[in-house]
Amino acid sequence: MSHPSPDSQHDAERVRQFFDQWDLYRKVVDHNYLHHREAYDVITQTLQKIEKPFSFLDLGAGDASYTGQALARCNISRYEAVDLSEVALQLAEKNLQSLPGPKIFTQADFSRYVREIKTSFDVVYIGLSFHHLLTPDKQQFLAGIKRIVAPGGRLLFFEPFRLPDEDLDGVRERWWKLAQLQWNSLTASELLQAREHIWVHDYPETVESYRHLVQEAGFPDLQVLYTDPDRLYAVFDCRIT
């Protein structure tokens, strides 16, 4: 569960405090409640197909534990992590000690960072953070991403999504029913913390809405690489040919 970037309607300090509670974060990840294992298997396979050494920008990097495992099997030349949480970045730096090549860890709001950065990357990745932006902010963010993806590069993102006939309340309620049944390693208090976060900060799009947003930003198309069994989370790939 990577760190989100709040927009003008979000309280950045409140989001930071939530994600600084790493015991809850690790429970969610370690029990695979968000299907990290399956998603990152697909991400790893995708990155391994890149033959030349590639640079990688990790937005909303969190502790980068799964990203680091994926990149350790790939031909990476340069890595940069961006996250709002200092705690997350400290953990990411430890988790990526053995990764070859230059590494940079930047504490920043990822959406603002994308607007300001001048460097280009072969792969830009964002995991479980993009959906914290409202739709107009997603559009602005993607336009910034298109500017920094190198020719022949790609944007990868692992995010929740809504079914075609679902509104925000519908997908939140569907998640909540599943969480109460499946997230049984969390205490009642922890489960309510997760619920509060999702109700306040989560704005997932439908697949078609994500497709429209990336095409409006200048990417040729959107490919769905993985969808979890509960149809809540997916891995998306946007290549620049």
Residue 86 corresponds to which tokens in the numbers above?
């200092």
Length of the chain: 241
Tokens of 26: 């690790």
d(CA 221, CA 239): 7
128 within a domain of the structure (yes/no): yes
Q: What is the pLDDT of residue 25?
A: 78
pLDDT for 88: 86
Whether residue 161 contacts residue 210, with contact meaning beta carbons closer than 8 Å, is answered with yes
4 in a domain, yes or no?
A: no
| Helices 207-216 and 135-148: angle between axes, nearest 10 degrees | 50
Within-domain flag for 2: no
- pLDDT tens digits for the chain (241 residues)? 444 444 444 455 555 554 556 778 789 999 999 999 999 999 999 999 999 999 999 999 989 999 999 999 999 999 999 998 888 899 999 999 999 999 999 999 999 999 999 999 999 999 999 999 999 999 999 999 999 999 999 999 999 999 999 999 999 999 999 999 999 999 999 999 999 989 999 999 999 999 999 999 999 999 999 999 999 999 999 999 7
- DSSP characters over 5-61: ---TTS-HHHHHHHHH-HHHHHHHHHTTTT-HHHHHHHHHHHHHT--S-EEEEEET-
Q: How many domains does the chain have?
A: 1
In the Cβ-directed half-sphere of 212, how many Cα atoms lie within 13 Å? 7
Domain that holds residue 101: 12-239
Name the residue among 101, 142, 151, 104 with its Cα closest to residue 123: 151
The DSSP 8-state label assigned to residue 108 in this structure reads: S
Domain containing residue 134: CATH number: 3.40.50.150
Query: Does a structural domain hold residue 6?
Result: no
In a domain, 1, yes or no: no
**Phi, psi torsion values for 150, nearest 5 degrees:** -70, 155
Residue 29 resides in a domain: yes
> Is 5 part of any domain?
no
Strand intervals (E) in 132-203: 149-162
For residues 60 and 82, what is the distance between their CA atoms, to the nearest angstrom? 6
Q: Are 157 and 125 in contact (CB under 8 A)?
A: yes
pLDDT at residue 19 in the model: 54
Number of H-type helices and E-type strands within the chain: 10, 8
Instruction: Look at residue 43 and tell me if it is in a domain.
Output: yes
- pLDDT at position 14, please? 52
